[in-house]
Copies of this chain bind each other. A is one copy, B any other.
């Protein structure tokens, strides 16, 4: 389009632009504090035109959340190659990249944002948690998880969320340290469960045997005995 006249966007193109503008604003301030006027202004269109594409702020917020959810779920995908600890560490780096990029929006959402309680919002949050859960099971090579493994994986996912939220509140600990910590936490929670249950014990030993001596799991195991002295 080189006519010198600003071309008119198609409906879908305009919707995608508005979603992008909204996400950019939500990455800097809480969605509660961002008005439709601001979104319109940042997109270079009028407020009524925004309502033409999205009937209300909630529908724009949900569309933005859908794009962010798809983005986050895509970052969980990791090739099935190399040691598990190193794979999990790469995913944790991409998770913190996402949290870093979307700080205020992520905090507001997880702490009870403008659309919490909306079934669409809850379903999107659950779908991202489920994507993480499915990825982890596939990397563990487990198709029919026992209840204790499901508990460890799902509760660790919740631990990763709360760790990221606490990190965002002041960023007082370097994120690289927390990325490693969460990988170690996964091993530690698995070990705790394995100490009580033979099936989890067998899984734990299988994971440990495949880990190299310089991987994150092995480095944790090497450091723990020193704590007892």
Contacts and interface: CB of A to CB of B under 8 A. Distances in A.
Interface string A115-156: 111000010000000000000000000000001101100110
A83 interface: no
A36 interface: no
A158 interface: yes
Interface in A43-70: none
How many A residues are at the interface, by size bracket?
35 or more
A154 B173 CA distance: 14
A191 B193 contact: no
Interface in A175-193: 177-178, 180-181, 184-185, 188-189, 191-193
Interface in A186-229: 188-189, 191-196, 201, 204-205, 208, 220-221, 223-224, 227-229
B196 A192 contact: no
Interface stretch (A17-25, A99-107, A159-167): A159-167
Contact of A224 (B148, B155, B161, B191): B191
A7 interface: no
A79 interface: no
B166 A159 contact: no
Interface of A: 111-117, 122, 147-148, 150-151, 154-155, 158-159, 161-163, 166-167, 170, 172-173, 177-178, 180-181, 184-185, 188-189, 191-196, 201, 204-205, 208, 220-221, 223-224, 227-229
